[in-house]
Structure 1
Amino acid sequence: MSSYRFRKSLVIAFLTSFALVGCGGSGSDSGSDAPPSSGGGATGPSYTPGVFDDPDNFVARCENPRTFNDINGNPYNDQAGSILYENHFLRSWSNDTYLWYNELPDLDPGDYNDPLEYFELLRTDATTPSGNPKDRFHFTYETSEYEQLTQAGISVSYGIEWALVKSTPPRELYIRYIEPGSPADASVVSLTRGVKVLAIDGVDVENGNDVDTLNAGLFPSSIGESHTFTIQDLGSAETRDVTLEAVEVEADPVPIVDVFNTASGNVGYVFFNDHNFVSEDKLVDAMTSLSNNNVTDLVLDLRYNGGGLLYIASQLSYMIAGPTATNGRIFDELRFNDKYPSTNPITGETLSPTPFYSTTSQYSDKYGGGVQLPVLNLNRVFILTTGGTCSASEAIINGLRGIDVEVVLVGSTTCGKPYGFYPTDNCGTTYFTIQFDGANDKGQGEYSDGFTPMNEPIAPGILQNGCYVEDDLSSALGDVNDPMIAAALNYRIDSSCPVLTAVSKGREPAVRAFKVNSSGFQPFDNGGFGSKQNMIRLMTNYTDPFKQGQ
């Protein structure tokens, strides 16, 4: 087994989570100093079109070898090498593991002086049926920063999720969600969902050119860091300044659980915001409560859920559908390129599908492992979606439709990421390249344009029953008067949708291609701003406690 394949112990995939994952740079160095078969010596490896050596012949042969240890105190395996070696590794590794390796250009590694520039070109140029790039999730990360952000579990913020409605001047920026108990939730600042941000530390949001200051204010990097925001409250023409100080925020992944009592039965509501380890017990509690209240329908609010642990998505789907619908069925199955029809090329393990898990995992603090999950036994579920619904959240939609549970979407098209990757470190950079996709029990996947409610005016994705409804930031989450919730409840009665209106200020922007620049922020078009933390959050983590030790 090639040594580079053991350099990451946990799989991260499908676009969105702050789950704790292993990203150590240690591992076997077997074969890493072997000369490449295509040449070598003092001048380094040579290029032969169409000939690809084993990536181990080039791995960890660095222009600037790291002499310090990784976050766990282990030394890196770096050896003296060159940019040419680093580029040859990227070429061979991509040809070996990239899902669409036969669509890659075969570029001479010697023609490029920057591995990041070279890697950027090692992706398919093909497009989706809607005309979007098929590969929108090809990016890199400085390894030391990536280790801190994921393995150390650092999540420094004010407790705000931002809605960047327009990313280029004239920009528009709103608060879309406030974490309960966070600095942004404090009474002294009196912030609400839907507040408009006009300036950050004196820099105009709408037309300001100082994007670095905007980024620094939106996404603080250290505890105690403070920034001043000029805001406009909902329904007010006045402006005011508030100062927020960043802390390490412990987010609640399931902050709202409710039961709507209607004339035709009880309807459960769950606002689910993150597929992380903490969410397992929270979801079990929520489903137990809804089961005890004899709900006959469920509104599952995933409008901002960017993904996370896939086994959590499997458990939740089982709790919705129940044992009869899920017995012996596949929730999600990984598919690598045609070189690896039955074997995981990264781990060497025989591929086996993820079932619908019916018990708690070993990571359940409250219940312990192996406890039977509560069930609702529903043959229909209403899921609220936006462009921020991604990854493991989309896997719920796909997994349930694979067993003929009717998924009614209310909102807008999901982000469209049925793909995944193993983050791979080489010489201080962690590379993310699409290596597999996921399919349901019917073999359905390939939803790269997302899932789309049936009557959305521009319908790029796979159509699902339901209604296009804009995310109204002036409405409280969990309120029956929120347009998305109200539409779901009405559709439940007569399968009708609200009359379409003009696009509101609160509409979520479309998901753009992800590329983290040297400062760690995701650039939007010409000088927009975005968060490196959102990049990590928009991934599905394939850590599976049910398969560990098998």
Structure 2
Amino acid sequence: MKKYLLLFLVTGFLFISCKNDDNIFPEEVKTAADYPAQHFMYQVMNEWYFWQADVHNLADDKFGGSNDPDYISFLASESNPSDFFYNDLAYNHKESVGDNASATDRFSIAVENYKDLVNSLQGISSSNGLEFNLYRASNNDIFGVVTYILPDSDASAKDIARGDVFNGVDGQALTDSNLGDLLFGDNASYTLNMADFSGDSVIGNGKEVALTKIENFSENPIHINKIIEQNGKKIGYLMYNSFLAAYDDQLNTVFGEFKAENIDELILDFRYNGGGRVTSAIQMASAVYGTETDQLFLRARYNNKKMAILAGDDNFTDKTFDSKIDLNTLNLKKVYIIATDRTASSSELVMNGLAPYVDVVHIGEVTVGKSEFSNTFVDDPDPSTGYFYTGNNDSNINPNNQWGIQPLLGKNENADGFSDYENGLIPDYEIPEDIENLGMLGDVDEPLLALTLSVISGNTAKRNFNHGSFSKSFAHSRIFSLTNNSMVMDGLLKPLKSEN
């Protein structure tokens, strides 16, 4: 009996000892550092996001700081940082196309590798040079129409041009379920199956065009610049497809040429311009109107936190922003702008910002409707940068978190205080592109340019413009671009206002 009692005591002692040993290794306590991407995203969005006050999760009294267990649990609630950003931080964000897009935040983005975001903002991407719109035929078949070809790209050396039609890729007919992978996937090369219009249908014609992407391809946004002489007038024509800093000096040269030729009128073609750098937009507007550095071009509206401490006014400029070269200006009182449902952000900023000073004659379609601006943030919490990507802080970015985010920080008003064009800017002369008769860009008979020239000459009533038999496009080649419809408030966040 004593043996059994002793065995029981020994067993109990060992059990208690094991329990005590468990306490030596308590469960690991998680911190914000265990969720670097989510922590970084929250800190930026709580401080800078335009709709911070409207997002329950971003409320200043929601958590008790970075060590609050509820905050740590919130960071851990989404294992995928992308889901965390879009589902828990962005205001009613919907990743969608066209009419199904959210009426609030349609444009904030999060990218796993911030370098992809930075390159895209600089016009650098992996591209074969093919630009196109996608449509549906009467039988619901999907097809694409080439809108333009980027110079010096792979497509520029192939037998394919504006107005050409395709309805398949690599022998597969385009469908809703496969077009993402076929046209917008990671494949470096693909072969287009070309087609022809046949009434209100599209029929394959057996022709094939093989295209290959060029890594780190850089697009020059100055697609066409020329002078058109009509009825004794010299008319400057500039097709400009993106507001990119690297081409500001070249853009200034173009305006210098227009000025030297003493042009009478100016046409800016923004039909495919989805936006870009705000400073480049200010330069463009100043080149049109004048270097009136004492006159307001835009007033930025931030969230309530930032409105109290940031100066939001930016005037016209008399120099290029980076190289500080004297700006060539035309001092015009009227400008003609071709803009469509592909025209957004910084393009709309130029149109809206010029409106209080210049008669802006809009030819084309209702624009996208984006008055909000953004900036690029990375996980570098240095107080001197405040998580901003500066272009010089790559070595300081958290090696455990390479995510970059481009959230909306506010809205830009013009000098009249107007910024409410979420439904787009309305054309004075409406004309969509007719995909069966696109014409050659820059040619005087190209339908949108022809109408613009007719408006200038006063002969619009004498021309007949066909609007085409197909419905509007539902997507285009830039729809999944990281910076499609961007308005980047680069270098314009002013120092803190004096508290006196």
**TM-score above 0.5, yes or no:** yes
Q: Is the 8 Å Cα contact of residues 311 and 357 (structure 1) preserved in structure 2?
A: no
Which amino acid in the other structure matches residue 238 of structure 2?
V
- Verify: 1:247 aligned to 2:237, yes or no: no
- Verify: 1:469 aligned to 2:421, yes or no: no
- Tell me, in whole angstroms, the C-alpha distance in 1 between the residues paired with 2:275 and 2:293: 25
Select the residue among 308, 311, 316 that pairs with 1:356: 316
- Tell me, in whole angstroms, the C-alpha distance in 2 between the residues paired with 1:120 and 1:279: 33
Select the residue among 170, 175, 189 that pairs with 2:141: 170
Rg (Cα) greater in structure: 2
Structure 1: which 5+ residue stretches go unaligned?
1-40, 46-57, 64-77, 344-349, 364-368, 454-465, 512-528
Aligned to 2:11: none
- Tell me, in whole angstroms, the C-alpha distance in 2 between the residues paired with 1:300 and 1:389: 12
Which amino acid in the other structure matches residue 54 of structure 2?
E
Aligned to 1:430: 404
**Cα offset, 1:169, TM superposition:** 5.6
Q: Is the 8 Å Cα contact of residues 267 and 295 (structure 1) preserved in structure 2?
A: yes
Which amino acid in the other structure matches residue 366 of structure 2?
T
Which amino acid in the other structure matches residue 255 of structure 2?
M
RMSD: 3.6
Q: Per the alignment, do residues 94 and 257 of structure 1 end up closer, same or farther by CA in structure 2, a change over 3 Å counting?
A: closer
- SS at the partner of 2:82? helix
- Tell me, in whole angstroms, the C-alpha distance in 1 between the residues paired with 2:471 and 2:210: 24
**Cα offset, 1:150, TM superposition:** 4.5
Q: Per the alignment, do residues 149 and 257 of structure 1 end up closer, same or farther by CA in structure 2, a change over 3 Å counting?
A: closer
Aligned to 1:396: 350
Q: Is the 8 Å Cα contact of residues 109 and 407 (structure 2) preserved in structure 1?
A: yes
Select the residue among 429, 443, 461 that pairs with 2:417: 443
Deviates more, 1:112-121 or 1:411-420: 112-121
Aligned to 1:539: 486
- Verify: 1:105 aligned to 2:79, yes or no: no
- SS at the partner of 2:297? strand
**Cα offset, 1:211, TM superposition:** 4.0
- Tell me, in whole angstroms, the C-alpha distance in 1 between the residues paired with 2:125 and 2:478: 15
Q: Per the alignment, do residues 98 and 166 of structure 1 end up closer, same or farther by CA in structure 2, a change over 3 Å counting?
A: farther
Q: Is the 8 Å Cα contact of residues 471 and 506 (structure 1) preserved in structure 2?
A: no
Aligned to 1:256: 224
Aligned to 2:298: 332
- SS at the partner of 2:405? strand
Q: Per the alignment, do residues 299 and 131 of structure 1 end up closer, same or farther by CA in structure 2, a change over 3 Å counting?
A: same
Select the residue among 59, 77, 96 that pairs with 2:47: 96
Q: Is the 8 Å Cα contact of residues 335 and 438 (structure 1) preserved in structure 2?
A: yes
Q: Per the alignment, do residues 438 and 208 of structure 1 end up closer, same or farther by CA in structure 2, a change over 3 Å counting?
A: closer
| Cα offsets for 1:213-272 (capped at 9, x unmatched) | 413xx5656xxx322111136899733011112224332221311222122522111111
Say which structure is richer in helix.
2
| Cα offsets for 1:395-454 (capped at 9, x unmatched) | 101110133x1111111111111112333345443333322111122222132222111x
| Cα offsets for 1:76-120 (capped at 9, x unmatched) | xx5xxxx9xx37x65565343221223223498647334433432
Q: Is the 8 Å Cα contact of residues 305 and 390 (structure 1) preserved in structure 2?
A: yes
Which residues of 2 match residues 19-30 of structure 1 at below 5 A?
A: none
**Cα offset, 1:507, TM superposition:** 4.4
Which residues of 2 match residues 189-200 of structure 1 at below 5 A?
A: 189-200=158-169
The structure whose RCO (Cα within 8 Å, separation 6+) is larger is 1
Aligned to 2:85: 119
Which amino acid in the other structure matches residue 47 of structure 2?
D
Normalization by structure 2: what TM-score? 0.73
Which residues of 2 match residues 381-392 of structure 1 at below 5 A?
A: 381-392=335-346
Q: Per the alignment, do residues 361 and 293 of structure 1 end up closer, same or farther by CA in structure 2, a change over 3 Å counting?
A: same
Which amino acid in the other structure matches residue 94 of structure 1?
M
Aligned to 2:192: 229
- Tell me, in whole angstroms, the C-alpha distance in 1 between the residues paired with 2:345 and 2:376: 16
- Tell me, in whole angstroms, the C-alpha distance in 2 between the residues paired with 1:116 and 1:103: 20
**Cα offset, 1:510, TM superposition:** 7.3
Normalization by structure 1: what TM-score? 0.67
- Tell me, in whole angstroms, the C-alpha distance in 2 between the residues paired with 1:91 and 1:156: 30
- Tell me, in whole angstroms, the C-alpha distance in 2 between the residues paired with 1:305 and 1:297: 21
- SS at the partner of 2:307? coil
- Tell me, in whole angstroms, the C-alpha distance in 1 between the residues paired with 2:121 and 2:469: 39
